[in-house]
Amino acid sequence: MAHKYDKVFRGTAFTSRTPQEVTVLDDHLFCLDAEGVIRRILGPDDPDYDRLVAAYSGTASFLSLAEGQYFLPGFIDLHIHAPQWAQAGTAMDIPLHDWLETYTFPLESKFSDLDFARKVYQDLVVTLLANGTTTALYFATVHKEASYLLAQICADKGQRGLVGKVVMDDREQNPEYYRDESTEVALADTESFIQLVQELDKTTKQGVYPVVTPRFIPSCTDEALAGLGELAKKYNTHIQSHCSESDWEHNYVRERMQKSDTFALHEMGLLQDKAVMAHAVFLSDEDADLFAETGTAIAHCPISNVFFSNGVLPAARFTAMGIDIGLGTDISGGFSPSLFDNIRQAVISSRMLEEGVDPSLPSTERGLPQSRITANEAFYYATAGGGQSLSLPIGRLEENYAWDVQVIDVNAPNAKLPLFDEGISREDLLHKILFLSRPENIREVWVQGDCVHKRK
């Protein structure tokens, strides 16, 4: 009899049900179709379970996890500057504005050289996959060709890439050596980039997507911002930018536009269901309401925020207000390519926000009550929250979602997790995985039903 499913996986999986609750699927079967979509999930009590195991086990379509191995959804990096991988871990000691001018713009300008771009982008995509990141929302550079090359590399290596050619057209704000030639060229390049990537997408299984990407308001003219809003609408694309990241940026926009970043971006047609704004640390309640109403998501980048944001995102409050939130590494404002590291920092930063950090103040005045997030919530942001933010069926191990997973091995050689209690609860085990896993524990990574990384 012909097999109904393209692949069947057997093992224990963790997946978020809500921001606070994780579902454990103990020794379940995950049945995929040829498109790499989960069509059926069944537990050992299901009457079909034994029949399916008997039919598929021993075939090339069946993969069963060993003791100590678990499925987690692949991570979704909701904010990452691909070219900045080349400077990750350096220049963490100066403010955002100086950092952009002294380090970042000179580096990004080098991506006019396609050979250099290829070297950096290939290394980054492979590294992200090895860190369990199955989908990434990338800023590239102003260069159309190199931005397209990044989309091609994602297509080639099997990562779901959402890629933006960055727009920086303001002649006063951007250095002559690194900006769009003119507003017209910025818009024309963006439009042809969108068309090229939408064509490329048709050749991939996992999907690659063009993203309308004004770097941030300070680097764009009003005309470019409005034109980009129209292009996003015309081609139904995702949108990304930075919003209210730091005191300097937030105040610059207020002075130039006489309104907040959020309201200015909204006026330009840049807030919508498929829009993701990085940081958003300084949103007022009115700004936050507008995010929730328009379906605009926040890419929370907790490591980067320590260095560049002058504050901590009140993630718990914004989640309660109904805003979609995902996690971003913000390479290289953040130094780490790992969303495990960012899960940890999201929890740590939220605790510091809640408790406060100035010991000279009485405890009652030190912090912002009810700001802490749990490890479950940070896990949600890195997975289901990211999928929700992008309006894509990813980030959950549920029927009709893509099979994007990482196989975690708690007994990996040289990276064994400290597990000495055989009766450990499933939730405690997940928390150990979240706080202690290293790349060595990520045994395999799958995107849209295909294996894209395997540790030797």
Ligand X SMILES: Nc1nc2[nH]cnc2c(=O)[nH]1
Q: Which stretches of the chain bind ligand X, using CB under 6 A?
A: 81, 96, 100, 104, 215-216, 242, 245, 304, 308, 330, 333
Rounded to a whole number of angstroms, the minimum distance from the CB of residue 307 to ligand X is: 8
Of 22 and 167, CB closest to ligand X: 167
Closest to ligand X by CB, 191 or 245? 245
**Nearest distance in Å: CB 151, ligand X:** 19
104 or 260: CB nearest ligand X = 104
Q: Could you tell me the smallest distance in angstroms from the CB atom of residue 114 to ligand X?
A: 21
| Shortest Å distance, C-beta 112 to ligand X | 17
Nearer to ligand X, 49 or 116 (CB): 116
Shorter beta-carbon distance to ligand X: residue 278 or 375: 278
Q: Nearest distance from residue 302's CB to ligand X, in Å?
A: 12
Report the residue number, 92 or 292, with the smaller CB distance to ligand X. Answer: 92
Q: How far is the CB of 261 from ligand X (least distance, A)?
A: 11
CA torsion through residues 395, 399, 402, 408, sign: positive
Which residue number, 249 or 444, has a Cβ lying nearer to ligand X? 249
CB-wise, 29 or 107, nearer to ligand X? 107
Minimal distance in Å, beta carbon 132 to ligand X? 22
Position 385, amino acid: G
- What number of residues does the chain have? 456
Q: Please, what is the minimum distance in Å from the beta carbon of residue 407 to ligand X? A: 32
